[in-house]
């Protein structure tokens, strides 16, 4: 019965066209990529779009959710949102994939899609931990990869490459302690192409 309803809902239109018909100007752009279509969605409509794609277009699985920091990307407008939240979805029944992207500023909040796919829980926690993206209505939004008390978000472009502190186990205090990082920047040789004289 569910498969019959799904087949009736797929009227021959591509997934991008169907989203434009259903959501209008909440769909900002549709780009046909090499591997799958990429749909730029307004962040306020992300949950409704995901519900629609799951129930009406057959995308029953979220494969990945990640963040992208666009702050140093060449040509990225300074007034555009700093981050993209990227959703990779898979329809096993239709053998199709689709990518959703929603722009989010540093102080913006985007709704969680855990009500659509419970597996989104850990993906969203990772995006929160690495980029500082806040997901509204997430059931347990806390760090997942970094340590308790960790400061900053390591995948942001402005995060220092060597970190700010390093952790050691102190035998006298019998606990882990942090101290400022003492690493010095290494001077690397210039990159050369194979066959070029390094003389």
Note the pLDDT of residue 166.
78
Q: What is the pTM of this model?
A: 0.79
195 in a domain, yes or no? no
80 in a domain, yes or no? yes
110 in a domain, yes or no? yes
Q: Burial, 86: exposed, middle or buried (Cβ in 10 Å; 0-12, 13-18, 19+)?
A: middle
135 in a domain, yes or no? yes
Note the pLDDT of residue 184.
63
Supply 181's token pair: 């990082």
Question: Residue 40 CA to chain centroid, in angstroms?
Answer: 13
147 in a domain, yes or no? no
CATH number at residue 42: 3.30.460.80
b/e 165-187 (16+ beta carbons within 10 angstroms → b): eeeeeeeeeeeeeeeeeeeeeee
Provide the terminal-to-terminal Cα distance of the chain, rounded to the nearest Å: 73
Q: What count of other Cβ atoms lies within 10 Å of the Cβ of residue 66?
A: 17
Mean pLDDT per 10-residue section of the chain, whose length is 199 residues: 49 84 96 92 98 96 97 91 97 95 96 97 97 96 88 88 78 87 63 59
Note the pLDDT of residue 2.
47
Note the pLDDT of residue 150.
83
Q: What is d(CA 117, CA 50) in angstroms, rounded to the nearest whole number?
A: 9
176 in a domain, yes or no? no
199 in a domain, yes or no? no
Matching residue, tokens 């829980």 = 121
For the chain, what is the domain count? 1
Note the pLDDT of residue 83.
97
196 in a domain, yes or no? no
| Domain span at 68 | 2-142
């Amino acid at each position: 019965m569910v498969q019959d309803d799904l087949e009736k809902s797929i009227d021959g239109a591509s997934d991008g066209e169907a989203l434009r018909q259903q959501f209008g100007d909440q769909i900002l752009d549709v780009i046909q990529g090499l591997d799958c279509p990429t749909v730029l969605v307004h962040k306020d409509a992300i949950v409704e779009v995901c519900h629609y794609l799951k129930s009406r277009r057959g995308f029953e699985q979220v494969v990945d959710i990640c963040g992208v920091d666009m702050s140093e990307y060449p040509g990225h407008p300074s007034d555009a949102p700093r981050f993209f939240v990227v959703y990779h979805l898979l329809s096993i029944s239709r053998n199709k994939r689709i990518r959703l992207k929603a722009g989010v500023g540093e102080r913006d909040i985007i709704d969680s899609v855990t009500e659509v796919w419970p597996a989104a829980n850990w993906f969203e926690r990772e995006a929160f931990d690495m980029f500082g993206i806040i997901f509204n209505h997430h059931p347990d939004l806390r760090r997942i990869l970094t340590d308790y008390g960790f400061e900053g978000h390591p995948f942001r472009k402005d995060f220092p490459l060597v970190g700010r502190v390093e952790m050691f186990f102190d035998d006298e205090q019998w606990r882990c302690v942090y101290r400022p990082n003492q690493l010095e920047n290494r001077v690397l040789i210039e990159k050369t192409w194979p066959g070029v004289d390094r003389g």
